[in-house]
Structures are given as C-alpha cells and as structure tokens.
C-alpha cells in the first residue's frame, strides 16, 4: 500500500498531539510502518499545533508533502483552512464546527487584523473530495465531557481510513487517561456516525467583547538595546522607536497583553504586567 | 591492610588513583598507557565510580574537568600524541581551577614516533605545552611504588590547590613489574568548600593561600566557570588590572605552596664532586652508576627530583654547591639541562648525557660520560 | 499555560548581556529559561555547559551552575558532569560552528551514547563571535567574510546528522517562534536520553549585513520564512481568507522530528 497521509490541525489544548498518537498507534496495531511528526507552526498565543502522520508498508519521511494528504482534520475551523494546501485533490476535510478566535484576530487589529475566516464551504469548493463538518464539541458535551471532542473528530476521520475499529479502540485505550477510555471510545463511535452539518445551520460567531484589562509595559531601559524588534512586532503599535532611535512606549492603553514583545525581546528587557486588582490578577 | 604483590607501573598508577579516591576516569586508548584505562574500567564500577572511553583525548580531559566540577576526584591518562591533544584542556583546568590528574606515560616522539619505546621528551611539553602564562605541577616517579605514591600525591595537590597535576613517567616504568606493598586506601586532604551562604559566595575569591574554595555543582551554589579571564565573581572581564590579578594569583598559589610541592631525593651528595641529575627511569640507571663509582672510591652522588615542575632550583643550587661537575642525564636531546644550568648558576660545570632514540640510558653510558671527570672525583 | 517570569532565573548583576542589539540568540535563551521553569527543574540542580561563541556566552547570564567550556567541547564537559552526578539536569548551549565544525565529533558521540543531555544548537549560519566567517551551516551562495564571492560548500543538515548518530529526541525550531521554542525545550529537557534541538537563530551584525537581510526585526521575519511548512507565516496569517497554495518552499522542516526510547548511557551498571 502506498503511504497514506493525514494532517491534524488545531490550537494548543485541543488534544491534537494526543489524537495523532492515537492514529499512529492504530496504524501500528494494523501492522503498518508509521511516521509521525508534530509541527509547530507560527504559534502565537493559543499556539497552532499541527501533526503529520504517514503510514503504509514502508514510509520514509514523516512529513506529508503538500497536496498529498488523504485526510485533513481540523479541530478548529481557521486552523483547518490554514493547512488546506496539504490536502490532496479529492481528499477529505473533516472539521469541528467550533471556532476559536485566535488572539491574533482579537480586538482592533490594525496590523495582523485579519477577519476570522467565514464558515463558508464555497471558499473551499473544488479543493476537496468530501467535507465533513461536525459539531464535535457539542457531541462530546452531550456525552459528558467536551474534552472528548478530539475523539469525535477522529471517529469522523476513521471513515476515510482503512483501519479496523479494534485497532482504533486499542489505541484510544492506550493513550487517553484510564478513567476516560469508555467515554472516548463512545465519542469515537459517535464521530463515525455524526451527521454532516450544513454551514447555514451554524450561527455566525460573534466576537465576544474583550474583558477590560490593563497592562503595564515594563521596559528595563538599562537592558534595552533599542534594537527595534518589539516596535516591529507589536500588533497594537504600543511601542515605537523615537527620532533618536530610542525605544518609547507610545500607547500603553492599546496593549492587549499578547506578550509578543516580551518573548521576542532578545535582551530580556520587557515584561508585561497586569496591575494588581485588575481582572486576571498580577502576573 | 597492605597487599604485597608483583604489579606493573601502570597498574600501580590506577591503584594509587583509586586509593586516593578517584571515582571518575575518562580516557582514550594509547600505548603505553592503556593498561591504566583497562584497570580503571575493571575496578572503578566496584567503587561506584565511572569509567568512560571518550572519542579522543581532548574530550577525555574535558569530561574529567566536567566531572571534577560535579565534585568527583577525576583523572585521565595518555601518552605523547594524546598529551598533545590534551594541552587545550590543561590550560582550561589551570584557568578555571579544576582539580584533576593527568598521567603522561612518555613514548618516543615527536608525532607517532615509536609507540612502544620510552623517552623523556615531554618534560617541556608538560611545563609549557599549553599556551599562555600558566603554572604547572609535574611529578616524576622512578619506581612502581613511587608511581603509586605520586599518583596519590597528585590527587592531593590537585584537590587542595585546585589545578591540574601531571604525573610523568615513561614506557619502561609503566611496563615494569615490581613487588610492592600498597595500601588499598590513602586518606588525602581534599578540596576546600565554601563557608559562606550561596548568596555571599564569590567563586574566585581566594583565601590567604591563593586557593578559592570550590563547591560541587548541585550543592546549592550556583556559579559560573569560564576559561575566559575573569574576576572574583568568576565572570569574564576585560579589565587589565583584574586580569593581571588573576594570572598572578594562579602562579602565586603554587609559589606559596612551593616547598610543600617540591620534593627531591639525594643519594650520597654530601661529599660529591660529581652530582648526577636524573629523574624517572634514568635515575635508576644513575643510581647504579653511583654505586659502581662509589665502589671505586669516587665521590659521585645522585640528585633526583620527584617534582620536576616547579623546578627545584633552590634544592639543585644547594645540593650541588660543593660539586665541580653536574651531569644531567635525560632521554631527550637536552630539555632539563638548561634548567639545571640556570639553577647551578655557574658554580659547577654542567654536562649533558642525552639519548633520543627510544632506548633507555644504561649505567654504563653514564659511567662513560663521567669518565673524563672521574679523576677529580677520586678521593 | 502559566506565564513564567524569567528574571529570577537571570544573573541580573551581570546584565545587560554582551550580545549585539537585535541578535536573536537572546530570544532562545529566554525560551530556555521558561522551559526549565515549566519542566520544574530545581535551579540548584541545573547545569548548563557551553562552548565558545556568541551563543555560548549566553550561559553566563543564566542563574544555574554554568560551565563555559572550550570551543566545540561542551558535550564532553557535559558528559563528565552528568556521569559524575546523574541527578543533575545537564544542558549544552552550542553555536553552529562550535557544535558542527570543531565540536562535531563530540556531538556525534554524545548522541551515539544517548547520554541524558539536552543540546541546544544555535544556528545562525555564521561564525558570529569571530566576525562573520563561513560556517558549516552557511547556505550555498551566502556571503561571509571568508566567502566574499559566495559560499560554494554545501551546508550541514544537523537534524539528519543527529538522527543518524543516534540522538533519541531531535527537533528543529526557530527563534522567531518563541512559544514553540518554549514547548520544544520543555519536552527536550524532560526527555530521558540525548535530546538535540537545532534553533534557527540569526546574526544581524554579520550575516545580516553581508547578505543584506537587514537588522534584528527584518532578520526575525526572514527566519520565519525558513519554515518549510509556512512559506511566509506572517503574510499567510493576513491572507488566510484567500488561501494561496504556497509553492513548496525550499526551507527546513521544523518541529519535533524524531523521538524514540533507547537505553540511556549512565556509565554505571544499573542503567
Ligand atoms: C580552538 C579554538 N579555535 C578557534 C576559536 C575562535 N572562535 C571563537 S568563537 C568561534 C566561532 C563561533 O561561531 P559559532 O559557534 O557559530 O557561534 P556564534 O558566535 O555564531 O553564536 C571561533 C572560531 C576558539 N575560541 N578556539
Ligand atoms: S503585549 Fe507587547 S506586543 Fe502585545 S500588545 Fe502589548 S505591547 Fe504590544
Ligand atoms: S526588543 Fe527589547 S531590546 Fe529591542 S527595542 Fe524592544 S525592549 Fe529594547
Ligand atoms: S556578532 Fe552576530 S551572533 Fe554575535 S552577538 Fe552579534 S549579532 Fe549575535
Ligand atoms: Mg554561529
């Protein structure tokens, strides 16, 4: 059998890594050679996580080449769309209808201000063989724990792969927390049967107003070398270099606390501080 | 309990190390020192110690230094070509003040030379092989028992003075078997650890004897170690004054303990008109020559350094004060002879007997070399 | 994930550090500190050994036991530390010249032994500290002070090298993705066995200047384009709604690229 490729994409905390471990194990159980690699894309906060799994009689590279994946599973809508180029023409797109608005799309994004992609299958028309849009999170919730949403998604994925139910169940039992094995197996089967939603039935996602928070941008001037990195990456233009090429905080009010400046400052010179008393507490 | 056994020089070296508490050995095979590694590989695990065969001699000494900072008494052994590779880290151990012992079983060089033949061609390499101004402590045993003793001694000096100490002997001694009585354990003074709290600790602040205390990694003192010139906090500096202070202290701590470090042995030197200066295996031949000469009523004595670096200038000056000739016999083309000339400072004529063909100097050769002067040495 | 304040892990008295303005090495150092905190490592029991180079200089600012060794030999020193005192967590900071040229052999053998170390290789494709000479990782065609007409030698693929040598955890990450770095470092530090993380870093002062790649900010953006999966991530983020299929980029695979369980070398009988 020539190698099969599956790409799983989501954001941190959704269990993408776990789901890929389960798939890899199920393929192993079925006697295939398996290669799996987690890929860390441009993870800003809420970090995108993507995992490539390839299996077959022999598999050399763990990386699914562009436009060859048999299945692309998105645990989140925007992430699924982002990795679409990996799907083979005619491949299956399985996606949880849940939408998690990444911080990069929050508030008033003057620089990376991308509108959250519309839930519109026409934007992907012609690029896929099958689109399975399911309410995985909702289904998992009904079963008792939204955390099992990843198993629901994998159930839907299993429709397009030639691995036995027994192999899947064994793999699930091996990787999920012992007390949740039954729940996850149930969720998996629910995913196999889940009905495909019509995007029209899913309510548009309104952006929640951000909670009021104020951040203090604490710059250690003795350490800052005015390198210009933080002004160049701050999505809210809170920071700038002045005419003398010195770093200045120009708009602390606009700071969303994304901490990009803090983690990208090579000189440990910035700290984002949530003042005591403000929602979220001090750092 | 002492054990009386027939053992080889290299084995005595390993036994001495274990007896002194060595619990880490890293090395790379090379004739004629490999037996030390083989012995350590067999016996260190029994002492809960670690043996590791590294990828070369550079990394061997690197690992030894790492283990030393982790608190272990650590050693490596090698010969000529490997000793050349170790020079980089000998300098590092001096600068970072890492206690460690390096054994060089000398073979005929330069380069690959004659791997199975003895020489004393590394005396200057042991002193000046690594770059920069640095002190050196090099011990030169002349018997199997003394290899044991001086290996133990090397650990004590290394640990108490926080620096590398080299044990230097040659292929013949390394492979000589002698009956010896060796204690399984020898108590030695160890490194001094800090008395102050971690927050007060300044890793390169020395006490009056010039030696800074040294905690082990993992003992609660978080400190920096570097081969860059550094200040008392152990942190790199470019200040000339601080740099000068460090380099001078590294020398001064050896100078301050010089009389303890330097050991010489004399044989019939009191009335000697001719003093033979020889170390290591050559001193054995010289001893025999002295006995032969004495039997003929000739006033010949032997001065044998157990420590070759720091050079025993004062001892040489004093012991040769009444002599008219000093014969320096060494298995190279004349390395130590210049040091002796310097120490004798014109008070006696200094002659050399050199051999660098990979063969040991024998007593007959020494007597022949003395022949022109023996008349004056007659009673 | 909790936010880690790294200042308590810095030797503040030694700051600011010596690296150039905008040099990404510091970003990597910061992510490493976060990871040691997340991995729950007691700072008293953390040892970081470094070679020689700009990247290696960073260890002086980390408030652990730090051993700034010799050029290329850090894995050997670290081997000694770990074998002598196995309860310590030992990591190595090394530059691309440090780890792959002069120290290549030590790196290979440490990986082969699968000794429990975490090696961070800062790849900026150049010898920064000595003024911008060509490195074994410099891409073909790039300008360095010793390849004024462009480098004609092929570059090392350190990930392939390390997998071949037997490292049991091999990853590649980029200084431009600090959150990912934090995560990979945490995994590497908690992996039992030899963990190797190549980090794509930069050198605005030499590599950037010689190759007209701009200063710190521009070079960070350039770094994001090295990822084989995302031709131009910042741009991709902006154009996600019309989804161009990226050309297969010439870049490098990023992420945890290899992981296996293999007996760990401890130098002792009871592994
Ligand atoms: C034995 C030895 N040879 C050469 C040098 C000089 N040297 C210092 S750092 C360095 C290269 C550093 O490059 P890299 O490891 O890539 O680190 P970077 O500065 O780029 O971070 C060299 C050649 C040295 N210190 N020691
Ligand atoms: S945390 Fe930093 S980068 Fe983010 S908005 Fe605030 S100032 Fe800008
Ligand atoms: S990134 Fe850091 S060093 Fe650079 S300008 Fe901002 S605060 Fe200063
Ligand atoms: S020379 Fe290059 S690598 Fe070194 S600190 Fe400067 S920018 Fe960084
Ligand atoms: Mg470099």
Could you give all domains of chain B from N- to C-terminal order, each with its CATH number? 3-182 (3.40.50.970), 198-259 (no CATH), 265-377 (3.40.50.920)
Cite the residue boundaries of each domain of chain A with CATH code 3.40.920.10: 4-201
- Segment A123-172, tens digit of pLDDT: 665 667 778 888 898 899 999 998 899 999 999 999 999 999 999 999 99
> Within a domain: residue C53?
yes
User: Across the interface, do C267 and B69 touch by the CB < 8 Å criterion?
Assistant: no
Is-contact B54 B1, C-beta < 8 A? no
> Within a domain: residue C200?
yes
Retrieve residue B369's tokens.
Answer: 């070399």
> Within a domain: residue C91?
yes
Is-contact C223 C143, C-beta < 8 A? no
**Residue A126 confidence (pLDDT):** 62
> Within a domain: residue C18?
no
Give the count of alpha carbons within 13 A of B44, CB side only: 29
Retrieve residue B85's tokens.
Answer: 């590779």
User: Across the interface, do C83 and B50 touch by the CB < 8 Å criterion?
Assistant: yes
Lookup result for tokens 């880290």: B89
Q: B270-274, B372-376, C37-41, C92-96: lowest mean pLDDT where? A: B372-376
> pTM value?
0.82
User: Across the interface, do C22 and A44 touch by the CB < 8 Å criterion?
Assistant: no
Sort out which chain C residues have CB atoms less than 8 A from B69's CB and list them. 65, 67, 80-81
Look at strands A4-11 and A48-56 and give their pairing: antiparallel
Pick the residue from chain A with its C-alpha nearest to C9: A268
Local structure of residue A97 (DSSP, 8 states): -
CATH topology of domain A4-201: Pyruvate-ferredoxin Oxidoreductase; domain 3 (3.40.920)
Cite the residue boundaries of each domain of chain A with CATH code 3.30.70.20: 216-273
**Phi, psi (rounded to 5 degrees) for B284:** -65, -45
Boundaries of domain holding C146? 24-236+246-259
Q: What band does B57 get if pLDDT is binned at 50, 70 and 90?
A: very high
pLDDT > 80? residue A111 = no
Q: What is the mean pLDDT of chain B?
A: 96
Pick the residue from chain B with its C-alpha nearest to C105: B55
A222 touches chain C (CB under 8 A): yes
- Segment A116-136, tens digit of pLDDT: 555 565 666 566 777 888 889
CATH code where residue C118 lies: 3.40.50.970
- Closest ligand to residue C130's CA: 1
Instruction: Quote the CA–CA distance of B140 and B174 in Å, as a whole number.
Output: 12
Instruction: Quote the CA–CA distance of A56 and A53 in Å, as a whole number.
Output: 10
- Closest ligand to residue A239's CA: 2
| ipTM reported for the complex surpasses 0.90 | yes
Instruction: Quote the CA–CA distance of A154 and A71 in Å, as a whole number.
Output: 11
> Within a domain: residue C270?
no
- Cβ–ligand 2 distance for A283 under 6 Å, the answer no
> Within a domain: residue C159?
yes
User: Across the interface, do B54 and C43 touch by the CB < 8 Å criterion?
Assistant: no
Q: Which residue has a Cα nearest atom 3 of ligand 3?
A: A224
> Within a domain: residue C73?
yes
| Ordered per-residue pLDDT tens for chain C, 271 residues | 688 999 999 999 999 999 999 999 999 999 999 999 999 999 999 999 999 999 999 999 999 999 999 999 999 999 999 999 999 999 999 999 999 999 999 999 999 999 999 999 999 999 999 999 999 999 888 999 999 999 999 999 999 999 999 999 999 999 998 999 999 999 999 999 999 999 999 999 999 999 988 899 989 888 877 766 554 433 333 222 222 323 333 567 888 999 999 999 999 876 4
C78 touches chain B (CB under 8 A): yes
Q: Testing the interface with B: which of C11, C43, C77 to mutate, by most B Cβ within 10 A?
A: C77
Per the structure, the count of domains in chain C is: 1
Local structure of residue C230 (DSSP, 8 states): -
Instruction: Quote the CA–CA distance of C85 and C74 in Å, as a whole number.
Output: 16
Is-contact C98 C55, C-beta < 8 A? yes
Query: Quick one: average pLDDT of B160-173?
Result: 98
| N-term to C-term CA, chain A | 53
- Cβ–ligand 4 distance for C27 under 6 Å, the answer no
Which architecture does CATH list for A216-273? 2-Layer Sandwich (3.30)
Q: Among A221, A227, A248, A268, which is best to mutate for testing ligand 3, by the most ligand atoms less than 8 A from CB?
A: A227
Question: Largest Cα–Cα distance of chain C, in whole Å?
Answer: 60
Is-contact B23 B47, C-beta < 8 A? yes
């Amino acid at each position: 059998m020539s190698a099969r490729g599956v790409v799983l994409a989501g954001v941190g905390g959704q269990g993408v890594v776990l789901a890929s471990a389960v798939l890899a194990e199920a393929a192993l159980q079925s006697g295939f050679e398996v290669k799996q690699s987690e890929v860390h894309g441009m993870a800003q906060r809420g970090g995108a996580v993507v995992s490539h799994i390839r299996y077959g009689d022999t598999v050399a590279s763990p990386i699914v080449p562009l436009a060859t994946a048999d299945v692309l599973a998105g645990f989140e809508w925007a992430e699924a769309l982002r990795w679409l180029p990996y799907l083979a023409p005619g491949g299956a797109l399985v996606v949880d209808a849940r939408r998690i608005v990444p911080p990069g799309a929050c508030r008033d994004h003057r620089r990376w201000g991308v509108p959250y992609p519309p839930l519109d299958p026409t934007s992907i028309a012609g690029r896929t063989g099958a689109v399975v849009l399911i309410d995985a999170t909702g289904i998992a919730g009904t079963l008792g724990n939204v955390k099992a949403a990843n198993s629901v998604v994998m159930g839907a994925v299993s429709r397009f792969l030639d691995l036995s139910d027994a192999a899947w169940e064994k793999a699930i039992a091996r990787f999920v927390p012992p007390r949740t094995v039954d729940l996850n197996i149930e969720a998996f089967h629910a995913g196999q049967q889940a009905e495909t939603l019509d995007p029209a039935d899913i309510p548009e996602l309104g952006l929640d107003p951000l909670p009021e928070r104020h951040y203090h941008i604490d710059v250690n001037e003795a350490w800052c070398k005015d390198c210009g990195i933080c002004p160049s990456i701050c999505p809210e233009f809170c920071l700038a270099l002045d005419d003398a090429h010195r770093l200045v905080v120009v708009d602390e009010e606009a700071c969303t606390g994304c901490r990009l400046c803090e983690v990208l400052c090579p000189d440990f010179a910035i700290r984002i501080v949530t003042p005591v008393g403000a929602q979220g507490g001090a750092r | 309990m002492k054990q009386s056994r027939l053992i080889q020089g290299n084995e005595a070296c390993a036994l001495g190390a274990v007896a002194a508490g060595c619990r880490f050995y890293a090395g790379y095979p090379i004739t004629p020192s490999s037996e030390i590694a083989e012995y350590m590989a067999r016996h260190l695990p029994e002492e809960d110690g670690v043996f590791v065969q590294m990828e070369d001699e550079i990394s061997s000494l690197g690992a030894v230094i790492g283990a030393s900072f982790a608190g272990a008494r650590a050693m490596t052994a090698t010969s000529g070509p490997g000793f050349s590779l170790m020079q980089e880290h000998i300098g590092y151990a001096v600068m970072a003040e890492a206690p460690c012992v390096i054994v060089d079983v000398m073979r005929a060089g330069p380069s690959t030379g004659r791997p199975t033949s003895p020489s004393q061609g590394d005396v200057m390499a042991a002193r000046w092989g690594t770059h920069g101004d640095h002190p050196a402590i090099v011990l030169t045993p002349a018997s199997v028992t003394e290899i044991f003793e001086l290996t133990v001694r090397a650990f004590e000096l290394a640990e108490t003075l926080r620096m590398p100490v080299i044990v230097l002997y040659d292929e013949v001694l390394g492979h000589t078997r002698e009956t010896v009585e060796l204690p399984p354990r020898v108590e030695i003074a160890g490194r001094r650890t800090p008395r102050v709290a971690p927050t007060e600790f300044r890793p390169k602040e020395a006490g009056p004897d010039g030696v800074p205390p040294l905690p082990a990694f993992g003992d609660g003192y978080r400190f920096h170690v570097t081969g860059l010139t550094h200040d008392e906090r152990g942190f790199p500096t470019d200040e000339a004054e601080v740099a000068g202070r460090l380099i001078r202290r590294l020398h001064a701590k050896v100078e301050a303990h010089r009389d303890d470090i330097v050991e010489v042995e004399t044989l019939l030197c009191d009335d000697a008109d001719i003093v033979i200066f020889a170390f290591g295996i050559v001193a054995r031949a010289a001893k025999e020559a002295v006995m032969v000469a004495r039997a003929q009523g000739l006033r010949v004595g032997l001065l044998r350094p157990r420590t070759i670096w720091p050079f025993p200038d004062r001892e040489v000056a004093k012991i040769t004060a009444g002599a008219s000739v000093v014969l320096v016999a060494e298995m190279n083309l004349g390395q130590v002879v210049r040091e002796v000339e310097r120490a004798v400072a014109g008070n006696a004529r200094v002659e050399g007997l050199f051999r660098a063909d990979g063969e040991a100097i024998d007593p007959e050769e020494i007597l022949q070399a003395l022949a022109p002067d023996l008349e004056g040495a007659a009673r | 994930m909790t936010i880690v304040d790294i200042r308590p892990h810095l030797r503040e008295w030694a700051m600011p550090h010596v690296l150039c303005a905008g040099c990404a090495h510091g970003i990597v150092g910061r992510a490493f500190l976060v990871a040691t905190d997340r991995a729950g490592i007691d700072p008293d029991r953390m040892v970081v050994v470094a070679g020689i180079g700009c990247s290696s200089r960073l260890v002086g600012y980390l408030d652990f036991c730090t051993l700034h060794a010799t050029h290329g030999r850090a894995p050997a020193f670290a081997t000694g530390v770990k074998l002598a005192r196995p309860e310590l967590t030992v990591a190595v900071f090394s530059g691309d010249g440090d780890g792959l040229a002069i120290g290549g052999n030590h790196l290979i053998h440490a990986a082969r032994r699968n000794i429990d170390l975490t090696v961070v290789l800062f790849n900026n494709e150049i010898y920064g500290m000595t003024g911008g000479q060509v490195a074994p990782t410099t891409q073909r065609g790039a300008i360095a002070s010793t390849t004024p007409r462009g480098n004609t030698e092929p570059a090392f693929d350190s990930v392939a090298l390390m997998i071949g040598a037997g490292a049991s955890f091999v990853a590649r990450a980029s200084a431009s993705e600090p959150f990912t770095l934090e995560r990979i470092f945490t995994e590497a530090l908690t992996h039992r066995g030899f963990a190797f993380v190549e980090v794509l870093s930069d050198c605005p002062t030499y590599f950037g200047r010689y190759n007209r790649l701009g200063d710190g900010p521009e070079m960070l953006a350039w770094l994001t384009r090295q990822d084989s999966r995302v031709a131009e991530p910042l741009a991709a983020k902006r154009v996600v709604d019309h989804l161009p299929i990226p050309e297969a980029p010439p870049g490098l695979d990023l992420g945890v690229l290899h992981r296996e369980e293999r007996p760990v070398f401890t130098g002792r009988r009871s592994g």
